Structure 1
Amino acid sequence: MKLLVYSAKKFEIPFLKKSNNNAHKVTYEAEALSSETAIKAVGFDAISIFSGDDASSIVLDKLWDLGVRFITLRSSGHNNINLKTAKKLGFKIANAPDYSPHAIAEHAVALLLALNRKIIVANEQVHQFNFLQDNLIGFNLHGKTVGILGTGKIGSIMVKIMHGFGCKILATDLMPDSDLIELCDVNYTTLEEICIHSDIISIHVPLTYDNYDLINSKNLDLMKNDVILINTARGSIVETKSLINALENKKIGGYCTDVYEKEKGLFFMDHSKEGIKDEQLKKLLSFPNVLLTPHQAFVTKEALSNIAQITFDNINSWEEGKTAKNELGLDLISS
């Protein structure tokens, strides 16, 4: 099968090549899929896209007319693809779920520890030979109340890690996990209760219509003034305007994130020379109690290997005329 990989990053190509093992003719394209770059897929049976690619209706129409019939996502989330249009046209679509929930959960903890214990500030200071500790006060995680929004594959690992720190765990999920209740003494409750009582809140829910701007001014107002909010899920789950207002008015203690609601055209690129025009992001980055990483939680050797393997497992299944294990159907489309 001829496969075009959009948004191909230099660091992931070796993993993809290894998993392909010369079985398919693969072309790697650094540019993201868009209405303008869809034409590059002419002559290809399949494409692979990442979370920042545009697979909206108009783009899917173009891809179908060009002869593309299969789309495999190198991500778990698929909110960037119009599944209803894709299925109506006849595309076979599959994603890469559960590629490494440990990578994401561990990154969330790394963000928390780095912000709380002022690791970035300390590192900058000592490189200037400043060894004072005046601005480096943090707090113990032991004994703190941690709210986990979503206890799926990633959220459940986050629960176990924070339980290991000796934290009290509150959680919310449509399907409470009885094992977590027994093993980690998790107390399932409402989002409102989590916002009111938690010292730390970590987001691990998918971006859906219902979850858009889930963390808004109302919920931010309920939170403790020193709460640390962590987001390694999707940027649009947090309403950035309200978040900035909360940070300005010291209504929350800090924000750790690996995602941003308007990543398209910003993330996965180097803007160090020309700068950026997104004033909202500039404002967010201006706060000393904000730690943002560039959607890198998945960038571990294990995760990249798994993503590559799942990608070609999907392609191999279609090549053999089978249904891919991770194929997305109409039942996953929100009504």
Structure 2
Amino acid sequence: MKHNTSPVLALATGIHKADAEHLHQALGPTFPLLCTEGSIESINPETLSQVQILLPFIHPTIGPAEMEAMPRLRLIATRSTGYDHIDLQAATQRGILVANVPGYGETAVAEYTFGLLLTVSRKLHLAYRSVQQASEPTRQLQGFDLYGKTLGVIGAGAIGLHVIRIARGFGMQVLAYDVMPNRIFAEVLGFLYVPLDELLASSDVVSLHAPALPSTYHLLNTETFRKMKRGALLINTARGSLVETEALLWALDNGILRGAGLDTLEDEDDLQHLEQALSPARQQSVQHNQALMSHDNVVVTPHMAFNSIEAVHRILNTSAANVLAFLRHQPQNLVTQEKNASI
């Protein structure tokens, strides 16, 4: 942890030592930056009251209470593309700008998507367990080829398009659903845009790459799972809120889904804070997630699809550039409207 008493104090939370050192270099070795592997709660209130620039990761939520503890806060430069962990309305009301990292992990997340897909489709996690337990290989470890299968991509943005490129290399047919279809990309990459219902009914694998928005909340629920091709796989490297967990359990238990590869879960933060008192609704969410993880045909990883060396460096470099641009009174990559937020 490093602390500088210069008038402009920036705080980076949830950041490991090596990444903190990289961020220091990107901002300049004399830049007044305080780094902690912990959360905002790990910083003493007096220091927190001096923070003018916050560089959080996706956990935990930055809401009115956290902003109240930082009365001098003028910029939140989140080290992520998604910003659903930040209360934008509260930030706007306080004149706090919010900047994100628009693109950094297209390659990393797309490759990880296929890592999850191959793990579930070829049952690599079960095969590994079998070797560890010195048990004989059985027919239960038999998977299936991706060649010739149909992949349905929900959200054909930068990551989704990279997933499509990889899928075509595997010899898969690809369908895509997006609110803003790009026919040129479809022609060049060789895939089809179709309505969501058609994608669900026709896809052997459905992969989620949509952002967390009110319009995408519980995009996959009991009603939409009923429309899916029986025996399909679900891959989610986007956001947990896209999938209603109780409905996912129902789809798995009733054979609608053959399996799932999940790098993100609904209310995943609560799994790391089981010692805290949770509301009944959040307790139920934790129980649903624990039930998911008990399924042999489900692979869950801790929201790490982005986590390659190259992608993390791009995150840090862009976050530093966002801070420096703000200090030059030329803020960039904003997701909120500029409103007298300069230092």
TM-score by length of 2: 0.88
Q: Which residue of 2 aligns with 1:2?
A: 9
Q: Which residue of 2 aligns with 1:172?
A: 177
1:187–1:10 Cα change, 3 Å:
same
| CA distance in structure 2 between the partners assigned to 1:217 and 1:49 by the alignment | 34
Alignment of 1:54-73 (within 5 A): 54-63=61-70, 65=71, 67-73=72-78
1:76–1:162 Cα change, 3 Å:
same
**Does residue 78 in structure 1 map to residue 83 in structure 2?**
yes
Q: Which residue of 2 aligns with 1:18?
A: 25
Shift of 1:39: 6.3
8 A contact 1:34–1:54 mirrored in 2: no
* Aligned pairs, number: 323
**Residue in structure 2 matching 1:163, options 150, 168, 174:** 168
| CA distance in structure 2 between the partners assigned to 1:37 and 1:245 by the alignment | 45
Q: Which residue of 2 aligns with 1:226?
A: 231
1:38–1:164 Cα change, 3 Å:
farther
Q: Deviation digits for residues 129-182 of structure 1, max 9, x if unmatched? A: 335242221111111111000110100101111111111111111111223311
Shift of 1:99: 1.2
Q: Which runs of 4+ in 1 moved over 4 A?
A: 34-40
**Does residue 41 in structure 1 map to residue 52 in structure 2?**
no
User: Alignment RMSD, CA only?
Assistant: 2.3
| CA distance in structure 1 between the partners assigned to 2:295 and 2:324 by the alignment | 47
| CA distance in structure 1 between the partners assigned to 2:16 and 2:43 by the alignment | 19
**Does residue 310 in structure 1 map to residue 318 in structure 2?**
yes
8 A contact 1:35–1:58 mirrored in 2: no
| CA distance in structure 2 between the partners assigned to 1:144 and 1:99 by the alignment | 29
8 A contact 1:259–1:294 mirrored in 2: yes
Shift of 1:13: 2.6
Q: Which residue of 2 aligns with 1:106?
A: 111
**Does residue 245 in structure 1 map to residue 254 in structure 2?**
no
**Does residue 184 in structure 1 map to residue 189 in structure 2?**
yes
| CA distance in structure 2 between the partners assigned to 1:119 and 1:189 by the alignment | 32
8 A contact 1:32–1:54 mirrored in 2: no
TM-score by length of 1: 0.90
| CA distance in structure 1 between the partners assigned to 2:132 and 2:247 by the alignment | 35
Q: Unpaired segments of 5 or more residues in structure 1? A: 272-276
State, as a whole percentage, how many aligned pairs show the same letter. Answer: 30
Q: Unpaired segments of 5 or more residues in structure 2? A: 1-7, 276-282, 339-343
| CA distance in structure 2 between the partners assigned to 1:250 and 1:10 by the alignment | 45
| CA distance in structure 1 between the partners assigned to 2:45 and 2:57 by the alignment | 14
| CA distance in structure 2 between the partners assigned to 1:249 and 1:327 by the alignment | 44
